Chain A
Amino acid sequence: MSDVVLRGFGWRHAGRRAWAVRDLDLTIARGERVLLLGPSGAGKSTLLAALAGLLPEDSGEAEGVVEVDGLDPGTARRRVGLLFQDPQTQLVMARSGDDVAFGLENRGVPVGEIWPRVAESLERVGFRYPLTRPTAALSGGEAQRLALAGVLALRPGLLLLDEPTANLDPSGGALVRDAIRRWHRPDRTLILVEHRVAEALPLVDRVVVLEPGGGVRADGPPGAVFAAHGDDLADRGVWVPGHPIAPRRAVSPPGDVLVRVRDVAVDHRLPPVAATVRSGEVLAVTGPNGAGKSTLALALGGLLAPTAGRVEFPGEPGPPHRWRAGALARRVGSVFQNPEHQFVTSRVADELAVAGTAPSTVDGLLERLRLSHLANANPYTLSGGEARRLSVATALATAPHLLVLDEPTFGQDRRTWIELADLLAGLRDEGRGVVAVTHDEAFVSVLADRVQALPSVRSRAVAGRLDG
């Protein structure tokens, strides 16, 4: 008997004209480990929600058949576990042990069994803290392993993973994948959505590629699928191994110094650091979690007062954290890790005009960042890649010479990634200085003219984000 069967399955969210998934026929046998691929918008997450019995019947319409172990997914829910991307929207309780117990309580597991199962699950994912460890004090990778423990404690036969490592730094991601690999047994089925294929391949033995608009485009063993469709998938944004991205090197040597960081430290968050950024160069700031990378970006951006040392812009008066916001934005453009933090209006075009930017410049920026067709959209409705492009555009609207970005390529598909790399390379070649805080090795190898690695300090975990 098959574990998962879809026949002519489709789903449309309320309020949308287009179907998220349509005409999908797919059979997955027990014990298979499937990587589900497809460009963004192909309905991968919708499909996982359908298999987990979580499609909100009051907020959309379904067609076709979905079965798990021959049952309606709503009935089969006890057999299915689902892990999402962001640990901070999965953890429920304040203490780690309580969070793993949450699902067991919901299922009515007898009290005497709960804590042994909690301990067993935490052990399995390699969680090394006591049960009382506050969930808010965990790093992203630790929090995601805790969330995985909460799912595995329910002993699912079918495990669904929706980009489980996309929000994590490389070492955190590796730990989560390791825990997933150790979980698998011949009688357990795994379906993984992930667009960084190289990381997913050790976990899977079959690849299914969804077609946006409906149906399955390719299905088979990884080798065969990537031989036949690798180029096409890479073009459509999937990170397929063996498709390296050519470096974007500076065409001319760097120019004047734009900013000097003189032994800047910020209380316990950033130990003293010195740095210089020139026009026409891309500086990548790397380092482990807790090294203070994001804090350095904030100090460079004039958003945080250093507790020691100085940030100097040659020819400009005083330290940047004392400047009025308008003056600051004309000199430094800061791009935050979460694009939505920077949105202040209800229309994409207004976001760029808010700083008093001329309409022709707004149109030019929209054009350059491929956002013209979204000029009237609400910024909060943009996809991840679109929102990232808009946040870069907002920083460019005031035409600063220096751009400071915090994990700009974080979680982006390959297509958006290349667009961003081209854009940043172009800005550098126009003579701007670009500083990017990043964990992304590809970013460093493709774009960085110089790398400054911040040393590891006593690990100080900050909840939920890659807070450097």
Chain B
Amino acid sequence: MMMLFKIAFRNILRNRRRSFMTGSAVAAGAMAMLLFGGFTNNIFAGLETNNVQRIGHLTVFRSGYFLFGAGNPAAYGIDKYTEVMNVIEHDPVLAPMIKVITPTQSLVGIAGNFTSDVDASKTFLGVGLVPSNRNRMRQWDPYHTGAGSLPDTRLSDGDQSRGLIGFGLARILGLCGPLKLANCPLIPHTSASEGKGVPVNKDIAGLAKLDTANGANQPGRLPQIELLGATAGGAPNVVTLSVSGVDPQGAKELDDNYIAMPLGLAQQLVYGRGEHKVTGLVLQLNQTRDMPAVRTRLGTLFREHHYDLEVRDFGELTPFYGQVVALFSAIFLFIALVMGIIVLFAVVNTMTMNVMERTNEIGTIRAMGVLRRGIRSQFILEGWIIGAVGATTGAVIAILVGNLVNGAHVTWTPPGNSTAVPLRLAVLGQPALVIGAWIGLVLVATIAALLPASRAARLSVVDALRHV
């Protein structure tokens, strides 16, 4: 065996340039796979962090809400939600795995800014939440992406009138000026905005002012908008929201419609003075890998307590996440496939040339008594060594390049994000990726050597000895 290794190593060194070129192809393959893999993992981690910070890992809904609830959110609300939360929080199995559990209320309606110089309205897609829980959820960052780790003080549990809106909605409602937003154009003065709608809009603003519970909390300094919605009973309802800032959303459609407000305000708009329910209970876990276990346990709990509830994970609620994962996984596979083919042909070519050049040597050692399998092993081992050295070199270079890029503090805006995040090539932090790419490339190099090695083993001794 030692002689086999000795001959293999020395033959590789003997054809230095050829071995170097082939090893370089393997190294380039390893680098491409690992750097892109690290980049892809960074995207996945960023997307996952973004989603989990916003909507948690799992959301508990009333059964049927996910499929039909958007048509009638009030009918699919969870009543006695504090009782359900209590059951979940105090379950000995779930408690260690859950970081945050918080109620949420989805709502739709019309948002309007009917101040003296602006007259604009827009349908909105709102979410009611508990600001302190939102801040705790924003601190979830196990992948150290550095996204949203600071508490957002613009929303407060103590002030139920303050909310955030999407950057696009702020622009549409003419709040760029009052909110002092950079790169946000002001609404041009048009004749269409004058006259016709004024009486109706003044009525809506007046209705909002009649709402005593909301009006008592107005700070006055913040720009205000009126939110018009329909209660569960079908009656129109209006509340005033003090806009304390913008929360830009990655997708324009959402950014032009988005409003985040305290849960109490959202419930007031949807349920009026009736029973306050919630759309869902958001669960943020300490670790994403606990999702299946938590989901299973929740199902058991709901059956035991006869709750008509269902659980959805963030992947189901944001198909975009799954689409991005699928897209980048497909690109990674494509790159791996291309690199594998390049390595395959490079090694086949090199080993074929080696066999051809050493045909006489093959004949000689076969005549001396080396078995066919000994010849086969010899060339397969050489392919394996080229693959192993190339893949190891590529992995080391990829790790160094990754560290270099990470240290350069480059930022970029990943898909679905509205703000730039640090670009990280997490090569070293992905042992499965490194080991997988290494094994894959070495396997391809070894398999590539198999064909020329088998041909060498099948050579007739006499023909091999005659070869010049």
Question: Does A associate with B in a complex?
Answer: no
* A interface residues, Cβ below 8 angstroms from B: none
